[in-house]
Chains A and B, each alone.
Chain A
Amino acid sequence: MRKLFLKSIKSSTRNKFSTYIMVIAFFSIAAILVEAGILGSLFKGLLVPMCYYIILAVSLNLTVGILGELSLGHAGFMCVGAYVGGVFSILTKDIITSALIRFPLALVVGGLAAGLFGILIGIPILRLKGDYLAIVTLAFGEIIKKLVQNIYIIKDVTGFHFSFATSIDTSTIDSESKQVILNGPMSISGIPKNANIVIGVILVLITLFVIMNLVDSRSGRAFMAIRDNRIVAEGIGINITKYKLIVFSFSAFFAGVAGSLFAHFSTVDPTKFDYNLSILILVFVVLGGIGNIRGSVIAAVILYALPELLRSFQNYRMLIYAIVLIVMMILNNNEKFLRFKERFTFKRLFAKKHAKEDA
C-alpha cells in the first residue's frame, strides 16, 4: 500500500518536473539561439508574449479543463491586470525607483485586482451552468473592456482628476505637472517596459507550480469532482460555492498577472481585450488538451508562433492558420491518428523500457 502511494506520488511529481524542465529547456535553448544569432529578432520578440500566453492558457485551463466551466471572459481579467498593474507602475515610478521591487509588486497588484474581479464575477453567476455561464463570462469581459475605454484620469499638483465617459477638460489642469494616466480609448501610455524573458519564465514556472500543485491536491480533486458530477459532489459534502470561487479567483489572478506582464511589455489597447482574445486563449486550451496543463503550455507556444511563421504565405497566412486549426482539431479527435501519434511519444518508449525491466 505504501509502495503504491509512493509510486503515485512519484509519477505525478515526475510529470510536474518534466513540465518545469520542458519550459526551462525551451526558453534557455531559444535564448541561446537568439543570442547566437541563429534565431532572429522575430523569435526573440515572441518569447515574452509566449510567457504571458502560457500563463493565460494554463490559468484558463483551470476553469475550463479542471472545473469544467466554459469561460469566454478571460481577456477581461487580463485587462484588469494590465490596467491596474500598469497604473500602479506609473504612479509609483517616482516612489519606488527600483524596477526590481516595483515590477514584481505591479505584477502582484495586477493579479490581485483581477482575482478580486474573479470573485466578484463568480458570486452572482454560481447558479449558472454550461453555455449560460459562458455567455455571462463573455458579457463580463466585454463590460470590463467598455468600462476601461471610458475612464480618464489625470494627475497634477492639485491631485487626481477623474472622469467617466467624457474626457477631462484640460483647461482646469496644471499643464506643468500634468500626467495623463488613463485616457479613455487612448488608454495608458508610459508604462515602464520592465518585462523580460527571465521574469516571464519565472512567472510561468510560478504559475505552473501553483496550479499544478493545486490541481494535484485535495482542492483539485474537489474541482474535478464538481466537473464530473455536480450533484454527487454536493452529496458527498463538497462545498461547491467555495471551490468554484477558489477556481475563479486563481484563474483570474493569474490572468491578471499575465495582463500586468503584458502591460509592461507591449502597448495597452482596450480593444485588444475582447472576446476574440478570450477565444484565442480557449483555442490554446482546447488544442492543448482540456485539463492537460502541459498541453496548454505547448499549444500556447506553437499556436502563438504559428501565424508569425506563416508570414511568408503573405495574403494566405490567416487562411492557412484557419485551416491548420481545423485540421489539428479533427486529427486530435481521430482515433487512428491518436494511435499513430502514441506510437511516437516518449511515454510509450519509456513504458516499453519499463515493461522489459519489470519482466
Chain B
Amino acid sequence: MALLEIKDLCISFGGLQAVQNFSISIEQNQLYGLIGPNGAGKTTVFNLLTGVYKPTSGSITLDGQGISGKSPMEINKSGIARTYQNIRLFSNMSVLDNVKVGLHNQIKYSAFSGIFRLPSYWKQEKLMNERALKLLKVFDLEHQSKNLSCNLPYGKQRKLEIVRALATNPKLLLLDEPAAGMNPNETAELMNTIKFIRDEFNIAILLIEHDMRLVSGICEQVAVLNFGSELTHGNTNEVLKDPRVITAYLGE
C-alpha cells in the first residue's frame, strides 16, 4: 500500500482554482518531485497536506489513515513534516533549541518534572541533546548549535529547517524548494544529504524544486502541476522529456 494517497484534491481562493483534482500516490521510502511553473499550486499542495489550508474537496490518506481536514498539529503527529518556501525558523532561539522543539513529541516529560527537575527531566533532556546533536551532525551544523538561528547564513538556515522537520520523526518529509539560494556546489551537496536522509531515516520525501539538476539527480518520480491541475506524472527522466512539460515549464 502506498504511504501517501492524494485523491482529487481541490482548493480555491475566491474565484481562483489554485489546485484542482490533484491525485498522486507516494510509496514508502520514495523520493518524489513536485514541479511546475510559478503559481501552479505546488506550495498550496504542501499547505493542504499539512493542514494549513483545508481542502474544498478530495482526500488525503497517510498510511491508510485519512488526514484531510485535520489540524497541522495532528497531521504532524501522524507523520508529515515540512520545510517552508520562505525560511521560518524560531529565530530568537538557538540552533540546538530549534531542533529540540522539533523533538517535542518524540522525547517527553511533564511540565511538572521540568519545574522540579525530577529524574525524568535529566534523563530525557540528555536524550534530547544527544538526538538533536546527532541530527545536526548530518548537516554539519553541530558546531553552531549554540548560535542564534537567525545569525546563520541563508544556506545553513535552510538546512536547519530540514533538521528540525526531521526531528519530528516523520514518515513523509516535504521540502519546499530546498535548494533555493544555493550555488551549484551547495546544491550538489544537498542532493547527497537528501538521499542520505531518505536512506538513514527510511522515510519518503516529497520535494518542490525548480533546480532540474536536483530533481533529475535524485527524484525517482515527479508530478508536474500546471495551473492547479496535474499535467503529468511518472518516472523522472520520462517526465522531463515530455514535450508538454518542456513547453509549460522547462523551456529549451
Binding site for B on A (CB under 8 A): 1, 4-5, 8-9, 209-210, 213-214, 216-222, 224-225, 227-229, 231-240, 246, 291
Contact = CB atoms under 8 A, between A and B. Distances in A.
Contact of A239 (B73, B101, B114): B73
9 contacts: A5-B126, A5-B133, A214-B114, A218-B111, A224-B90, A231-B52, A234-B76, A236-B76, A237-B76
Given A1-B129, A217-B114, A224 B145 contact: no
Nearest to B92: A228
B93 A225 contact: yes
A98 B115 CA distance: 30
Interface stretch (B35-43, B81-89, B215-223, B224-232): B81-89
B58 to A, nearest CB: 20
A224 B104 contact: no
Nearest to A237: B76
B13 interface: no
A229 B88 contact: yes
A225 B76 CA distance: 15
Interface residues of B, number: 47
B133 A4 contact: yes
B114 A213 contact: yes
A235 B105 CA distance: 12
B91 interface: yes
Interface in B96-113: 96-97, 100-102, 104-105, 107-109, 111
Given A235-B82, A236-B168, A228 B133 contact: no
Interface of B: 50-52, 71-73, 76-77, 81-82, 84, 88-93, 96-97, 100-102, 104-105, 107-109, 111, 114-117, 121, 124-126, 128-130, 133-134, 142, 145-146, 164-165, 168
A345 B89 CA distance: 30
A236 B129 contact: no
B76 to A, nearest CB: 4
Contacts of B111: 214, 217-219, 246
Give the dominant DSSP class at A's interface: helix
B138 to A, nearest CB: 14
A66 B178 CA distance: 30
B222 to A, nearest CB: 24
Given A213-B116, A232-B90, A233-B101, 13 more contacts: A1-B130, A1-B142, A213-B114, A216-B114, A217-B114, A220-B114, A225-B93, A228-B93, A232-B84, A232-B88, A236-B164, A237-B76, A238-B101
Given A214-B111, A236-B104, A237-B76, A8 B88 contact: no
A225 B101 contact: yes
A225 B90 contact: yes
